[in-house]
Amino acid sequence: MTSNKFNYPDKEGFFGEFGGKFVPETLMYALEELENTYSKLKDDKDFIKEFYSDLSAFVGRPSPLYFAQRLTDKYKSGNIWLKREDLNHTGAHKINNTVGQILLAKHMGKKRIIAETGAGQHGVATATVAARLGLECHIYMGSEDVRRQSLNVYRIKLLGAHVHAVDSGSATLKDALNEAMRDWVSNIDDTYYIIGSVTGPHPYPMIVRDFNSVVGQEVIKQSKDLFNKMPDAIVACVGGGSNAMGIFYPFIEVQETRLIGVEAGGKGVSTGEHAAPLNDGTPGVLHGARSYLMQDEAGQVKDTKSVSAGLDYPGVGPEHSWLKDIGRAEYVAVSDDDALKAFHEVTELEGIMPALETAHAFAYLEPLMKELDSSSNVVINVSGRGDKDINTVAEIDGIEF
Amino acid sequence: MNRLTSTLSNLKANNQKALVAYLVAGDPDMDSTLDLMHLFVESGVDVIEIGVPFTDPIAEGPTIQRAHDRALKNNISLKMILSLVDEFRKSNKETPIVLMGYLNTFISHIDLVQATGKDGIDSILVVDIPGELNLETYGISNPNINTISLISPTTKENRVELIANNSTGFIYYVNLRGVTGSSNLNISEIENNIGRIKKYTDLPTLAGFGIKTTEDAKTLAKFSDGIIIGSSIVEMINEASTTKEFDRIGKYIKDMKIAIS
């Protein structure tokens, strides 16, 4: 869908030395089937038309690029623009990918949909598109996340999907992914697995990126219309990295635009209690791909820590690892405390309540704007809205309902 | 000749089937694992398969997952497992040992795997690499260690040949679409698929996943070169984790051995 001189992954699914297909043999045929289907459909006029028509009428695209007056006034060193993915149907960028993947599932004749979810946004987005097509849907979610994202759990159930709480390991996103993969191995013939980020084995990182890159494509057009040049910087939060990859990808060859990914710094990168593999990890293999990973010397995956369920993941999409190593994107980390401060600040200054994930991107404005001059334009990808996080924030602030 | 290769070819020459038994190193503790390895051999096991614990074992069902978790609570590492094998080899130089695990733990210790001598482990089975890739791709090229590849019910015919050509130990046929410890074996599908594998290779083809009863074992032994049992043993190890009375496991293995003889 996106033509780009930066032509990755290669045919084995690698972005440089990252990516690949590291899965049990049973899954190989399903990945091949998906790859074949996608390579046929991605340039098919009818398929593209159907995808963009759903994005328009069902999701509500394009999402606005909104000028944040009061944030701009606060920093006084450049214009701050918000890419409003929070205004999408279901409240986050996640729907772009699920709308695309459910069309693949339909073309492949799959009757059963599974997905993992962290913050619950991907679970909601998957349950939504499955409901629309009347497909059976199962969502795997770590039991810790079921607790802290109870609102989204209820939304998923209202949409007719089954929620499976996962108790193994750290009971968060990575364990939900493990369990979804086990389900897929066991039900491979009739089941389509909608992975929710640019993670997992090839071809998922490519497919999820492509479906989400509608965000970056819109920003290119909107930047021309609104300020007649390309942004000086784009800032997006990175857990698995799908919202960041979606907005970064069309800009990879736009050299004047800095691409900045913000990871979850948890209690601080130096404490080791965080979820920032690009800042403090080493390459390893998890969930089907080689990428930066939080692991110990024995190759065991470390537990992560973040106030944000959607960023609480020890790995990251392989293309981000590649963009880091070739120096095309910068990856920084923001602590829980700074993200919470930004959550309140943006809500009060702009009347926009960002998801805690997104709040990490906002928090990075503080150091970033000091480096920029007043003629610059910065785009923040507002990956999702914060309604789902009200319980978490209230709990931290000591408020009981 | 590699100890695993010679053991399997001797069995074949005598028209016998191989019995492979699995446990997770360090579950419930390393001393028990060593005792269990000797018990396996005394009870008729031909090949010992040691599970290397990993935080994210995506191919395992709940029984073996929990065993991995228990072992990780004991901080079991590949380094400790290789020392355990050295200890075992002090009194047993005959029984082949296969390490089964996930790529990330092996590539974190390539130096140790490369340093393994003749009297160490005999084979590595990495669950999460495509069967047509071999361990050399990942920096593991120790002549003392051979490779076991998995073929599953969903493996297409064109890949069966690639994978078979790439395996040097035996072919591990995954009996079912699912994780370890699942049930519902489709016997005629297994028979057909093993027959298909044998068109492409003379390597022994062993059947694993979902084998619970002596009946299962007996049926599968008719058209495979042997069977692999894991979850049912791991469950019995767990049940005896406090008493350390593993006699029941010895009896179970003996019954399995009789069933496939």
Show residues of chain A in contact with B104, CB under 8 Å. Answer: 284-286, 293, 295, 299, 301
For B50, phi then psi, to 5°, come to -105, 120
Residues A40 and A98 in one domain: yes
The encoded tokens of residue B5 equal 């290769």
Q: What is residue A162's DSSP assignment?
A: E
Q: Active site includes A94? A: yes
Residue A48 structural domain:
14-56+94-208
Looking at residue A144, its pLDDT comes to 87
Task: List, in sequence order, every beta strand (DSSP E) within A294-361.
Answer: 329-335
Residues A103 and A124 in one domain: yes
Show residues of chain B in contact with A36, CB under 8 Å. Answer: none
Helix A121-133 vs helix A150-158: angle between axes, to the nearest 10 degrees? 0
Count of Cβ atoms closer than 10 Å to residue B241 Cβ: 15
* Number of domains comprising chain A: 2
Q: Active site includes A383? A: yes
Residues A306 and A188 in one domain: no
Q: Which of A2-11, A185-194, A369-378, B33-42 has the lowest mean pLDDT?
A: A2-11
Residues A193 and A229 in one domain: no
**Does B160 contact chain A (CB < 8 Å)?**
no
Best CA proximity match to B95, nearest among B194, B10, B201, B200: B10
Q: What is residue A303's DSSP assignment?
A: P
The encoded tokens of residue A150 equal 């109870």
Yes or no, beta carbons of B179 and A186 under 8 Å apart? yes
Q: What is residue B84's DSSP assignment?
A: H
Q: What is the pLDDT of residues A24-49, one digit of tens each?
A: 999 999 999 999 999 999 999 999 99
Where do the structural domains in chain B lie, given as residue ranges?
3-260
Q: What is the pLDDT of residues A144-176, one digit of tens each?
A: 899 888 889 999 999 999 999 999 888 889 999
How high does pLDDT run on average in chain B? 95
Q: Which of A126-135, A203-212, B4-13, B135-144 has the lowest mean pLDDT?
A: B135-144
Distance of CA A26 to the CA centre of its chain: 27
State how far the Cα of B60 lies from the Cα of B101, in Å rounded to an integer. 10
Residues A223 and A352 in one domain: yes
Residue A105 falls inside a structural domain: yes
Amino acid at A341: K
State how far the Cα of B165 lies from the Cα of B183, in Å rounded to an integer. 30
Yes or no, beta carbons of B177 and A28 under 8 Å apart? no
Looking at residue A62, its pLDDT comes to 98
Residues A193 and A312 in one domain: no
Confidence of residue A5 (pLDDT cuts 50, 70, 90): low
Domain boundary among A181, A208, A235: A208
Residue A291 falls inside a structural domain: yes
The sign of the CA dihedral B181, B183, B187, B190 is: negative
Residues A70 and A106 in one domain: no
ipTM over 0.90? The verdict is yes
Residues A186 and A258 in one domain: no
How high does pLDDT run on average in chain A? 96
For B211, phi then psi, to 5°, come to -90, 120
Looking at residue B137, its pLDDT comes to 82
Record the pTM. Answer: 0.96
Residues A101 and A196 in one domain: yes
Q: Active site includes A395? A: no
Looking at CATH, the fold of the domain delimited by B3-260 is given as: TIM Barrel (3.20.20)
Yes or no, beta carbons of B177 and A187 under 8 Å apart? yes
- Contact between B207 and B19 under an 8 Å Cβ cutoff? The reply is no
Residues A113 and A229 in one domain: no
Looking at residue B233, its pLDDT comes to 98
Q: What is the 3-state secondary structure (H, E, C) of B89-148?
A: HCCCCCCCEEEEECHHHHHCCHHHHHHCCCCCCCEEEECCCCCCCCHHHHCCCCCCCEEC
Q: What is the pLDDT of residues A321-374, one digit of tens each?
A: 999 999 999 999 999 999 999 999 999 999 999 999 999 999 999 999 999 999
State how far the Cα of A239 lies from the Cα of A249, in Å rounded to an integer. 16
Looking at residue A1, its pLDDT comes to 47
Residues A360 and A243 in one domain: yes
Confidence of residue A184 (pLDDT cuts 50, 70, 90): very high
CA distance A27 to chain B (A): 8
Residues A189 and A270 in one domain: no
The encoded tokens of residue A64 equal 């606005």
Best CA proximity match to B173, nearest among B153, B147, B201: B153
